[in-house]
Amino acid sequence: MLDHARRPSVARVRPRPGPSVAAPRITPARPLGTRRLAEVLAARSLSPAAAPEGDAPDEQDAVEPTSDSGVTTDSGDEIAAVNDVGEVPAKDEPEVAAAAPPTAGASGFVDGGRTGTIRWGDPPLAGHVCAHAFTPGGQTGTTPWGPAGAKNNEGLGSIQSEVAASYGGQAGVAPAPAQAWVQNGTGTMQVTRSYTGVASGNQGNGYFVTAAAAARINAHEVGHVNSTKGFHDADLKPLLDKILSYTQAKAGRGTGADQAAATAALKTTLGLPAAWTAAKTSFKNHDTAQNKPGGPFDTADKASGTYPVDAGAGNVAGTAFAHRIKTPGEAAPV
């Protein structure tokens, strides 16, 4: 007979299954149709949620424009994009990528291209004093040209990033004089221009825009971008290139009996800081004068004979529109 009291016990450990995790239920996104347009516009008008403490917009890692101009080229009321059948695409499905942020310490002009789509024909936001791509309608007081639509995104005359020149050098060793240079990554300015375009078709607000008219409207915005680049190249680039040639990485040097004298000589050669201020002022004045609302660029483009016009009310594919936007060479859309 076995002595059960003295028999060693062996515990059996059974693995316990982990908690079951239900697979996430994926609900297909429902496209936003025209019946929800009012709901979308109402949602866009709500105030954004408060940012966490310490993350206020003016405390985030952003480079502020050096211009205090709040006026943008062809600025309009940025509302939901509308596709060719009058539906509003989901906000999390942008049609084009956003422009890259400015790079501190980099010089040059950045063509940000088209960064989004906006409806043609909506009234501009109250208080906006700015031009935008237009159909003939003129300018009255501070009212923007024509209906809201395609627009440039950056302020007139604005510079998106700038780093003033700072200096370095080395003491002279007889008979060689002391030397001075501009520190790498300083003495730089970067200008970015991008635009928000329009799509063709039913805008969902009584406007219809032909494909040719939409392309011509967007070409107008590209023209503003190119115009600003021309002023960058004429007013800023010569000085920036000269400064670059005197950076530590390049061969240019200021020389003098000692470090202070070498730095003073370098500033004289570059004309700094006066030339820096003059270049910025010249660029701002030229860009603003040429590309301002209803300014020379807009006036010349309107008079080109190719800018879109309003064919008035009519039906397109069985839908009634109050406005049909087309190019002058096109027949009215039906």
- The per-residue pLDDT for range 183-196, each reduced to its tens digit, is 999 999 999 999 99
Q: What is the pLDDT of residue 93?
A: 31
- Cβ partners under 8 Å of residue 327, min gap 6: 210, 212, 213, 216, 306, 307, 308, 309
Confidence of residue 280 (pLDDT cuts 50, 70, 90): very high
What is the pLDDT, as a whole number, of residue 58?
Answer: 34
pLDDT tens figures, 139-183: 323 223 335 568 889 999 999 999 999 999 999 999 999 999 999
pLDDT at 291: 96
* Distance from C-alpha of 201 to C-alpha of 209, rounded to nearest angstrom: 5
Domain ranges of the chain: 68-326
* pLDDT score recorded for residue 111: 85
Task: Give dist(CA 75, CA 131) in Å, integer.
Answer: 6
What is the pTM (predicted TM-score) of this model?
0.66
d(CA 298, CA 217) in angstroms, rounded, equals 11
| Locus of tokens 């990033």 | 161
Write down the pLDDT at residue 281. Answer: 98
